[in-house]
Amino acid sequence: MSQLHHRTCHLCETMCGIEVEHDGAKILAIRGDKDDVLSQGNICPKATGLQDIHTDPDRLRRPLKRVRKNPAEKSLDDEWVEVEWDEAFDYAARQLAGIQREFGADAVGSYCGRSTAHNIGALLAVDPLRRIVGSRNVYTGSTVDQMPHNFVWHHMLGHQFFGTVPDINRTKYYLMLGTNPKLSNGAMMSTGANPYKKFDEIRARGGKTVLLDPRRTESAPYVDEHHFIRPNTDALFLLGLIRTVFARGLATPGRLGAHIEGWDVIEPMAARFDMDRISDVTGIARADIERIAVEFASAESAVCYGRTGVSMVEFGGLCQWLMQLLNIVTGNMDEEGGMMFPLTAIDSLSLASSSWDRYRSRVSGRPEFSGELPMAVLAEEILTPGEGQLRGLIAIAGNPVLSMADGTRTEEALEQLQFMVSIDYYLNETTRFADVILPPVGPFEKSHYDLFYHLYDTINWAKYAPPLFEPEEPGHTDFEILAEVLKRLAIERTGSPVRKWLYRRTGDLVRRFVTVERVLALGLRFGPYGKGLNPFKKNALSLKKLRDSPHGIYLGPLRKCLPERLFTPDKKIQLAPRVLLDDLPRLRARFFEGGEEARQADSEFDLKIISRLSNRTLGWMHHSHRLVKGRNPCRLMIHPEDATARGIQSDSLVRVTSRRSSIELPVTISDEVMPGVVCMPHLWGHGRVGTRQRVANATPGVSMNDLTDVSVIDELTGNAVVNGVPVRVDAVGKAGAAEPAHGDETVEEFVA
């Protein structure tokens, strides 16, 4: 007899509610939950692929230990053997402790991938991990994606996670840069799936939607205006908007005027950038720039919002700052229909630090940000000999060989590690370099609460889901795995019998009494909607209440909260932080002083490559048979003019070459991408030696990140540059026959 289980899809910050039909032992179907308070039945195709991950025979259930053929070095030909959990925990702790005893605390680092943020058990263990390991070598996937957001929030608002969220449900003017909500469903903006449908609601309110992107994306048909913009020039477009707002006398701080520092700096700053030059560089007519600026500033409410297309570029930090400036100088900060701030059920902000430049990386001197270093320096910290060299790594829920800029260099570095522990479901392109892999139980075998991504809610709400199934084999959650490794690491590092006993006893008590559910219950009790110390408070939010409300609980719309909630010492918005102002000369040098033209004139790399999304693929979801079936979307999109000039036909196989490397893939000729720009999906590139992932390897594609170069980053924030990389494209032959649709075969039939 079938039953229904309700939870939140954990694949992205959209947080769609899903309804899982099951018979108590296996999943029968996954659908959108029509009663979910956020998504109201909407889901994207990726959620259905979770069923395949749950049953995937390649998903690891027991620890794997590398057995080296040559004890002196790793090889992709090494064998893997299953071992018992205690043996795996002891092995990991013993090796990591040995490295730290011999070379110091910084010789062991940690890396947390994007999925950590969607996993409350792993997320709660991150701070203990950093404290117990005690290393400055801390890395996360955020410096490949969202760090410009966090950097700007820290310097303007006082905390890296006190993030502005578009009040899309009430706005009258929605200006988007470098985002594709039709497929992303609202990145760092939790709306539930299909936020593009909200564009119709904006139009019905008498409003307008405008999109800027070098490609006419899947979102373009749903907006009122789409404009092509040359990659990496969005900062200049934003300066043009700000300059026009001041020049037309439309600038206003609104009710926050007394709580803004640096207002007088902005108008003269923007005036230094000539409008005609901005138009020439961006490819957008001056009249359109000025018109959009006037419309935005004159609207009853407005939002300027952008995501990876304006973060993963050389001026990502400036883009994010200038978008915030535009919202503030038009009176749209912390106002209904503008940029607002959710009030989360658990005070997540108090659980995270926010800092900048307390120390620097060993090799290239990059500043830390909130306790972590840019992923761009990871490889050099491993490969460069000397005191403080990174020799050991604990890697959680990520695949930087495919997701990090310059994946081939990442491979080279990981291969040189003395010891690596991976906490992951799969033997993939990254974990194949580990010495031991500790797989957590599957997504449906543990509870779920989106602790981190509620920070990006477009409404205030909360939802909890208990585990659906018991693990197929005795297993551990991410929280339990990290607790065991850290306990044993502390024991191994000390020579004192008393301390060994104390660490063992403390670790056992933590394992017994500190659970994710108890942490959640306390967080909810002392959160803004909980009882706190008042046992008689009525209608307070609690874990029990969430258990009894499987579709979630609505806690109200976004509300004004400034200046009280600002984290700056003086409780003022810092409109013009010196570190951001100091990056403007770099922008001028690139585009206003001949730098860009000189580079282009002398360069054989005359095209710019950008990445694109697919609504069926997201990194490790390539393990889902139903999501990768059909023709592989890993193709290069090129404009007809650029194709003709290079002798490229619709059936061509092309070689894309950057200053770093080259890849080959089939091509799609389309005017959806602007001239001078090529486009391909990223996070492909499977089929490498030493992995165990039959579905992903059967549709390998190639990795866009093999073209990128970690020596080229956003100098301001340390974020990787993925979009706007200069490349050359050449036809090298005909592509193979079109890949057949895979139909509904089993995994075994598909990979045969």
pLDDT in tens, 663-673: 999 999 999 99
pLDDT digits (tens, 9 = 90+) for 473-495: 789 999 999 999 999 999 999 98
**DSSP strand pairing (225-227 vs 208-212):** parallel
Please give the pLDDT value at position 599.
58
pLDDT-derived band at 264, boundaries 50, 70, 90: very high
In 631-676, DSSP assigns E strands to 636-638, 652-657, 662-669
| 337 contacts 254 by C-beta, under 8 angstroms | no
| Distance in angstroms between the alpha carbons of the first and the last residue of the chain | 34
Q: What is the full DSSP assignment across 516-542? A: HHHHHHHHHHTSTTS-TT-TT-TT---
Worst-scoring range by mean pLDDT, 314-323, 357-366, 608-617? 608-617
616 pLDDT more than 80: no
Segments of the chain assigned to CATH 3.40.50.740: 64-145+348-555
746 pLDDT more than 90: no
Please give the pLDDT value at position 632.
84
Q: Residue 707: CA atoms inside 13 Å, Cβ hemisphere, count?
A: 34
740 pLDDT more than 60: no
Worst-scoring range by mean pLDDT, 53-57, 193-197, 228-232, 731-735? 193-197
Q: Which helix (H) or strand (E) holds 82?
A: strand 79-82
pLDDT-derived band at 283, boundaries 50, 70, 90: very high
Which tokens is 329 given?
Answer: 């100088």
Worst-scoring range by mean pLDDT, 36-40, 184-188, 420-424, 527-531? 184-188
Which tokens is 502 given?
Answer: 């104390």
Spell out the residues 6+ positions from residue 5 whose beta carbon is closer than 8 angstroms to its own.
19, 20, 22, 465, 468, 550
Q: Residue 568: CA atoms inside 13 Å, Cβ hemisphere, count?
A: 19
Please give the pLDDT value at position 472.
78
Burial of 671 (0-12, 13-18, 19+ CB in 10 A): exposed
| 529 contacts 345 by C-beta, under 8 angstroms | yes
748 pLDDT more than 50: no
Worst-scoring range by mean pLDDT, 405-409, 462-466, 549-553? 405-409
CATH of 64-145+348-555, one of 2.60.40.10, 2.40.160.20, 3.40.50.300, 3.40.50.740: 3.40.50.740
Tell me the C-alpha distance between 541 and 553, whole Å: 9
pLDDT mean over 327-350: 96
pLDDT digits (tens, 9 = 90+) for 679-700: 999 889 998 999 999 999 998 9
pLDDT mean over 189-195: 78
258 pLDDT more than 50: yes
Peptide bond into 563 cis (omega under 30): yes
Q: Which residue has the higher pLDDT, 195 or 653?
A: 653
Spell out the residues 6+ positions from residue 22 whose beta carbon is closer than 8 angstroms to its own.
2, 3, 4, 5, 28, 468, 469
What is the overall mean pLDDT for the chain?
92
pLDDT mean over 713-737: 91
Segments of the chain assigned to CATH 2.40.40.20: 603-751
Please give the pLDDT value at position 471.
87
pLDDT mean over 297-324: 96
pLDDT digits (tens, 9 = 90+) for 504-521: 888 888 888 899 999 999
340 pLDDT more than 50: yes
Tell me the C-alpha distance between 577 and 596, whole Å: 27
Q: By percentage, how much of the chain surpasses pLDDT 70?
A: 96
pLDDT mean over 173-182: 94
Q: Topology of domain 167-341+566-580, per CATH?
A: Dimethylsulfoxide Reductase; domain 2 (3.40.228)
CATH architecture of 603-751: Beta Barrel (2.40)
Q: Which residue has the higher pLDDT, 322 or 184?
A: 322
Q: How many CB atoms lie within 10 A of CB 349?
A: 16
pLDDT mean over 136-145: 93
In terms of pTM, does the model score above 0.85? yes
739 pLDDT more than 50: no
Please give the pLDDT value at position 439.
97
Segments of the chain assigned to CATH 3.40.228.10: 167-341+566-580
Please give the pLDDT value at position 602.
56
Please give the pLDDT value at position 710.
87
Please give the pLDDT value at position 390.
98
pLDDT mean over 622-630: 88
